């Protein structure tokens, strides 16, 4: 693929940076992730030098060292395969029920490749063709694959409907790849694509004019009140203005209070039991989930939650101050708030104003300034796969590759657990 890869073995110690790009269904729910890799024997470069070595590393780390559940959760993983990976038997050991083998666009469909595809298909593996175009030279492989990812930038608007009709006649699952705008998504949706992937979903964008629903307005107000450290009674009065928020908090606290002989029944009891820091964090999560979304299946929510948790863990590692807990809370808030512009359709300046954020968090959001700003940059660079810039910033912040790899894996696990308990 031409996308910048987001999975990288960071250095000779075997640590890796983990990245995933979501693949969504027609209702914009996450159903799979593409795992993107590169060989990083040269940690300061982003050049693919050995796809076979990179593929081996990503397979070993995803399905052995870390475990598929930690990286993929309940979803399927799309793994890129070049020629040597495909014909060399490397993929045979993978759990076929968890993966789709994605055949890269530069793989020549010769007899050896065809034989390998047939063997894998007969064995039960799911295969996909990556970056498919009109008059694609891999046309003869269509009989062995169940999925085709159409390279939108490489197919003209005039020829796209005909390509879709032809592929649909073969009963293939069609993925619209490199979806950049809402308009592209809507057109591909109308044409009958089954799945969608691209920076429109993976990189939050500001959608002007999006209405903030009443529940989210209340959540913003609650976050503001907690920042002001108001009395519990004032918090509870605001929560009670929107019953569904109170019910959600009661359900959360009652789940956590299983060791108590009696369940907590009032909002004030719940807020007191939960405490300000956990309540603040859960309100952030609710703000993204909303009443009219698919909750943690939303790629925006998953990225926001993972970014907040990652920054919190890195703050614990790198920010040494008198009030460590406050540093960690501020880092978590900065990570979550950094995506509110996309959620609410407002600028980051408006996010800062609505939440009355303190100077450290505001500086991080508006200019990547200060320690929190550097941590936010680290999280963003991991998501975009800009590893040369990331390596420089890690050195500047005194964070080791081992620390960032450990923190990112823990962030992924936390998001998966959050989704299972939501």
pLDDT at residue 303 above 90? Answer: no
What pLDDT score was predicted for residue 84?
A: 84
Q: What is the mean pLDDT of residues 245-261?
A: 59
Mean pLDDT on 292-319: 73
Is the Cβ–Cβ distance between 62 and 236 less than 8 Å?
Answer: no
Q: What is the pLDDT of residue 40?
A: 38
Domain 214-421, CATH 1.10.3210.10 — does that match? yes
Structure letter (DSSP) for residue 65: I
Instruction: Calculate the average pLDDT of the chain.
Output: 76
Is the pLDDT reported for residue 273 higher than 60? yes
Q: Is the pLDDT of residue 376 over 90?
A: yes
Q: What is the average per-residue pLDDT within 36-60?
A: 46
Q: What pLDDT, on the 0 to 100 scale, is given for residue 151? A: 95
Instruction: Annotate 81-120 with b (16+ C-beta within 10 A) or e (fewer).
Output: bbbebbbeebbeebeeebbbbbbbbebebeeebeebbeeb
pLDDT digit string (tens) for 152-206? 999 999 999 999 999 999 999 999 999 988 889 999 999 999 999 987 775 543 3
Residue-level pLDDT at 343: 62
Please report the pLDDT score of residue 87 as a whole number. 87
Q: Hey, is 90 helix, strand or coil?
A: helix
- Residues 48 and 38: beta-carbon distance below 8 Å: yes
Query: What are the DSSP calls for 377-395, one per residue?
Result: HHHHHHHHT-HHHHHHHHH
- The residue with greater pLDDT, 262 or 246, is 246
Residue ranges, comma separated, of all CATH 1.10.3210.10 domains in the chain are 214-421
- Angle at the Cα of 7 (from 299 to 28), degrees rounded to 5? 15
> For 219-233, how does the pLDDT look when each residue is reduced to its tens digit (9 = 90+)?
777 887 887 788 888
pLDDT of residue 345 exceeding 90, the answer is no
Q: Which of 253, 216, 374 is nearest to 310 (CA)?
A: 374
The whole-number pLDDT of residue 36 equals 67
What is the distance between the alpha carbons of residues 368 and 360, in angstroms, rounded to a whole number? 10
Which helix or strand (DSSP H or E) is residue 163 part of?
helix 160-168
Instruction: Give pLDDT, residue 4.
Output: 33
Record the pTM.
0.60
pLDDT of the residue at 270: 75
Could you tell me which residues are beta bridge partners of residue 150? Answer: 132, 176
Mean pLDDT of 83-103: 85
Of the pLDDT bands very low, low, confident and very high (cuts 50, 70, 90), residue 254 is: low
Numbered ranges of CATH 3.20.20.450 in the chain: 8-202
CA atoms 174, 180, 184, 190: torsion sign: positive
Fold for domain 8-202?
TIM Barrel (3.20.20)
pLDDT at 55: 56
Residue 275 neighbours by CB under 8 Å, 6+ apart = none
Q: Cα angle at 24 between 20 and 25, to 5 degrees?
A: 155
Residues 387-393: what's their mean pLDDT?
84
387 burial type by CB count under 10 A (0-12 exposed, 13-18 middle, 19+ buried): buried
Question: Helix-strand-coil percent breakdown of the chain, rounded to 5?
Answer: 55, 10, 30
What is the separation, in whole angstroms, between the first and last Cα of the chain?
34
């Amino acid at each position: 693929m031409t996308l910048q890869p987001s999975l990288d073995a960071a250095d000779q110690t075997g640590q890796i940076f983990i990245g995933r790009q979501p693949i969504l269904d027609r209702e914009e729910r996450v159903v799979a992730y593409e795992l993107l890799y590169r060989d990083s024997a040269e940690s300061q470069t982003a050049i693919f030098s050995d796809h076979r070595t990179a593929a081996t590393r990503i397979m070993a780390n995803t399905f052995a060292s870390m475990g598929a559940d930690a990286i993929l959760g309940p979803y399927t993983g799309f793994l890129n395969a070049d020629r040597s990976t495909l014909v060399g038997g490397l993929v045979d050991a993978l759990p076929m029920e968890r993966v789709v083998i994605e055949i890269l666009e530069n793989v020549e469909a010769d007899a050896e490749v065809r034989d390998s595809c047939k063997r894998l298909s007969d064995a039960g593996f799911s295969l996909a063709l990556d970056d498919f175009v009109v008059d694609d030279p891999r046309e003869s492989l269509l009989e062995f694959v169940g999925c085709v990812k159409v390279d939108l930038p490489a197919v003209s608007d005039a020829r796209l409907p005909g390509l879709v009709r032809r592929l649909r006649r073969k009963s293939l699952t069609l993925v619209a790849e490199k979806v950049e705008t809402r308009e592209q998504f809507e057109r591909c949706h109308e044409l009958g694509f089954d799945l969608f992937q691209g920076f429109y979903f993976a990189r939050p964008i500001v959608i002007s004019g999006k209405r903030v629903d009443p529940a989210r307005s209340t959540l913003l107000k609650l976050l503001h009140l907690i920042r002001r450290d108001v009395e519990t009674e004032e918090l509870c009065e605001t929560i009670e203005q929107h019953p569904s928020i109170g019910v959600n908090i009661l359900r959360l606290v009652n789940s956590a209070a299983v060791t108590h002989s009696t369940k907590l029944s009032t909002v004030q009891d719940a807020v007191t039991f939960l405490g300000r820091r956990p309540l603040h964090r859960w309100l952030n999560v609710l703000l993204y989930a909303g009443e009219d979304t698919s909750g943690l299946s939303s790629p925006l929510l998953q990225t926001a939650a993972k970014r907040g948790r990652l920054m919190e863990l890195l703050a614990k590692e790198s920010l040494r101050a008198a009030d460590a807990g406050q540093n960690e809370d501020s880092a978590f808030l900065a990570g979550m708030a950094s995506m509110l512009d996309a959620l609410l359709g407002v600028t980051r300046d408006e996010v800062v104003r609505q939440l009355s954020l303190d100077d450290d968090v505001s500086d991080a959001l508006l200019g990547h300034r200060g320690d929190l700003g550097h941590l936010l940059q680290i999280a963003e660079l991991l998501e975009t796969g800009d590893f040369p810039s990331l390596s420089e910033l890690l050195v500047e912040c005194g964070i080791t590759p081992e620390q960032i790899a450990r923190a990112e894996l823990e962030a992924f696990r936390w998001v998966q657990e959050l989704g299972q308990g939501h």
